[in-house]
Amino acid sequence: MTTLRDPAHQVSPKARLRWTISAVLVTLVGAAVLTGVLVVSEAPLWWLWALLYVGGAASYVVTMPRLRYATHRWESTPTAVYTQTGWIGRTREIVPMSRVQTVELHQDALDRLLGLASVSVSTAAEDDLHIALLDHAVASELTASLTAAAESETGDAT
């Protein structure tokens, strides 16, 4: 039975906190919208809708970051980058080093606060490959090594 194994490394443990914060923010926005709708429409069963929403939002905030942390993994070898992402479904991506065009390191305000960073690797295909929420030191080291490896390859990677 030939199957792929998981990539070697997990993302930073702090990623769970980062995902929880964004989940809380999203559900708060959703709550505000729902409140507005319920108030304007004077729905008779408003408490039922509210209860359903709170239940759904709470389970999302609790489970999503844990499932993501369990799934998200990455690995880089001299010849390829291998990632695994998802929380309900699962996507594994493999890109040969010879096809890498650019390597980028991203960090938003929240990431900087927590000392996290994400790396994205682009090829001539449509979608980039993302390695989300590594410790900043790990991410910058990875960026440097990927850039060096990609530069040593010749050809236009199409």
Partner 1 sequence: MSEAVPEVPEVPWRRLDPKMLLVHPVSEVGRLAIPLLLLVFLGSGGIDGWHVAVVAIPVALGLWRYATTQFRITPEHLELREGMIGRHVTRARLDKVRTVALDAGPIHRVLSLSKVKIGTGDDNRLELNALGTAEARALRSSLLHRVEEPTLGPGLADGIVAPPVLESDEVLLRFDPRWLLLAPFTGTGLLIAAGAVGAGSGPLQEPVGNLGQRLSDRADGIPIVALVAGGGFLLGIALVVLSVAGYALTNWGFRFSRDRAGRSWHITKGLLTTTETSVDTSRVRGLSLCRPAGLRLVNGGTARALVTGLKEDDDSKSSAQIAPAAPYRLVHDVCLRIAGDDLAVDGALVEHGPRAARRQLLRPLRGVLWLVLAVAVVALSFDLPWWVALLPAVLVPLAVWAGRDRYRALGHLLTAHHLVAGEPKVSRHRNLLLRRGIIGWRVEQSFFQRRAGLVTLVATTAAGEKRYAVVDLAEDRATALAQEAVPGLVAQFLA
Footprint of partner 1 on this chain (CB under 8 A)?
1-5, 7, 75, 77, 79-80, 82, 86, 88-96, 99, 123-127, 129, 156-158
The minimum distance between CB 138 and partner 1, in angstroms, equals: 20
Q: What's the number of CA atoms in the CB half-sphere (13 Å) around residue 41?
A: 11
Strand ranges of the sheet holding 73-76, from the earlier edge strand across to the other edge: 9-10, 73-76, 80-85
Q: Which is nearer to partner 1, 84 or 111 (CB)?
A: 84
Q: Cβ(20)–Cβ(61) under 8 Å?
A: yes
Nearest to 129 by CA among 138, 120, 139: 120
CA dihedral angle for residue 68, residue 88, residue 130, residue 79, rounded to 10 degrees:
100
Please say which residue, 109 or 154, places its beta carbon nearer to partner 1.
Answer: 154
Count the Cβ atoms, other than its own, within 10 Å of residue 61. 17
- Least Å distance, CB 98 to partner 1, is 9
Distance in Å, CB of 94 to partner 1, minimum: 5
Helix (H) or strand (E) holding 70: helix 46-71
Residue number with CB closer to partner 1 (19 or 82): 82
Q: Rounded to the nearest whole angstrom, what is the least distance from the CB of residue 121 to partner 1 in the complex?
A: 10
Nearer to partner 1, 42 or 127 (CB): 127
